[in-house]
Amino acid sequence: MLKATWFVLAGMAIVFATLSLLVLVMTALNRWLRPTPEAGAHPTRARDA
């Protein structure tokens, strides 16, 4: 069961590490590519509507 414990820890570590990087990506995108006022906030929803 020791290897199963390590498997669980390693798996969760990979999940958190990957998603932490995604948070950095999202934060960077939101900071550097802010919407211009005339561009609208939700193009997809506007398009769907």
Partner 1 sequence: MLEGELLGVFALTWQAAVMLGLGGLLIYLGIAKEVEPVLLVPIGTGVILANVPLGGLTEPGGLFAVLRAAGIDTELFPLLIFIGVGAMIDFGSLLERPYTVFLGAAAQFGIFGTFFLAYFLGDGGLRLFDFSFTDAISIGIIGSADGPTSIYVATMLGSKYTPAIVVAAYSYMALVPIIQPPIMRALTTEAERRLAMPTRAQRVSRRTRVLFPILSILVVGLIAPKATPLIGTLMFGNLLRESGVVERLSRAAQNEMANIVTILLGLTVGGMMTARDFLRPETIMIYVMGVVAFALGTAAGLMLGKVMYLASGRRINPLIGAAGISAFPMCARVVQRVGLEANPHNHLLMHAAGANTAGQIASVVAGGAALVLVPFFA
By the rule CB under 8 A, 5 interacts with partner 1: yes
- C-alpha R_g of the chain: 19
By the rule CB under 8 A, 38 interacts with partner 1: no
By the rule CB under 8 A, 17 interacts with partner 1: yes
Contacts of 46 (CB under 8 A, 6+ apart): 40
Q: How far is the CB of 24 from partner 1 (least distance, A)?
A: 9
Cα separation, 48 vs 15, whole angstroms: 32
Kindly list the residues in this chain that would bind partner 1 in the complex (CB under 8 A).
Answer: 1, 3-8, 10-12, 14-23, 25-27, 29-30, 33-36, 39-45, 47
